[in-house]
Amino acid sequence: MALEQRKQRAPLKADKKSQPGPAARAVAIPDKLYFRIGEVSQLCGLPAHVLRFWETEFPQLKPNKGGSGQRLYRRQDVELVLELQHLLHEEKFTIAGARRLLAERRRSRATANTRAAERIALSQTAPDLLTMRGELRAILGILDGKITHSSPRQHAQNFGTSSKAHLEAKTAGKRSRRPIDDSTPLLF
């Protein structure tokens, strides 16, 4: 009879292992600002002491503490706990390996953000660089003796800067003592 009971229990263990854990199936995280440690524990299916231990092992997991000292997890903290649970329990990472993987992901995201910011900054400064290039060419022309004096219109035509509207926009807000006409030399 004891042998029959063992045979009946064996399939139960196999069935339990074949079911996906809480991190593998989609966990519905309620739409709240903060979660207490007990709520996170229930959502993730982990004991509270494991969450406290992971706080010491993973610097990314740092819940706020309320006035009474109780841990208050944000949504991103809960998502991180679920990711850690997946890495440690299902992917069988060691704590050090999971820590290393999370640090690499953070570095790659930071690098991607930096590159995006550089692209945005470059796209915003490109028109200014073109204007500066034209002005520097004008200065080189003056220094080489090719151009002694030029009107704003000639300057714009020679060096690729936009027309009179550009020059007016550039000088807007600046008060000049005398108006610029074709006979006024440009001084850089």
Task: Write down the pLDDT at residue 14.
Answer: 37
Place of tokens 């690499």: 104
Strand partners, 126: none
Dist CA 108 CA 154 (whole Å): 50
Using one digit for the tens of pLDDT, what is the confidence trace for 119-140?
Answer: 777 777 777 777 888 888 888 8
pLDDT of residue 20: 41
Domains of the chain, with CATH numbers? 9-93 (1.10.1660.10)
pLDDT tens digits, residue range 41-52?
999 999 999 999
Which ranges of the chain have pLDDT less than 50?
A: 1, 3, 5-24, 163, 176
Predicted pLDDT at 88: 94
Q: Please give the pLDDT value at position 111.
A: 86
Whether 110 and 131 have beta carbons less than 8 Å apart is answered as no
